[in-house]
Amino acid sequence: MADELLDEIKKIAEKIPGCRYSSIVGYDGISVAQHIIDTNYDVNAYDAEISSIMLAAQEMTENLALSETRELIWLTEDSFFIIQPIGDKYFIYACLKAAGSNPGAARIAINKARQKIHKLIYQAA
């Protein structure tokens, strides 16, 4: 399963113009799979911090009785993050350069791969 997840996350990162890296992460902040293309970030630290954002979104969704979270988009001066949950224990995201990237392509690539990754993770459990 680990090799298949690495293959999927690599495909995502390499399909997205301007992608710095992509990751599959547990809500506990532990990285499951990563593919780094071009970054000087500590990707493990980013994975852990973004899990905090996802936990907060999950709690807000429950507290406000909203339907499930499908996607979070976060834009900073340097980076564009596209984050999508995979079930209730994991999420997938891509970090793109803020300029010269293609967030639309990222959304499509992540959405397509998410279903396959979901099967790989939850069938193995």
Full 3-state SS string of 68-105: CCCCEEEECCCEEEEEEEECCCEEEEEEEECCCCCHHH
pLDDT-derived band at 2 (thresholds 50, 70, 90) equals confident
pLDDT tens profile 68-120: 889 999 999 999 999 999 998 999 999 999 988 999 999 999 999 999 999 99
In three-state secondary structure terms, 62 is helix
Domain of 14 in residue numbering reads as 2-124
Total count of domains within the chain: 1
Q: Give me the CATH number covering residue 58.
A: 3.30.450.30
Give the whole-angstrom CA distance, residue 18 versus residue 45: 21
pTM, two decimals, is 0.91
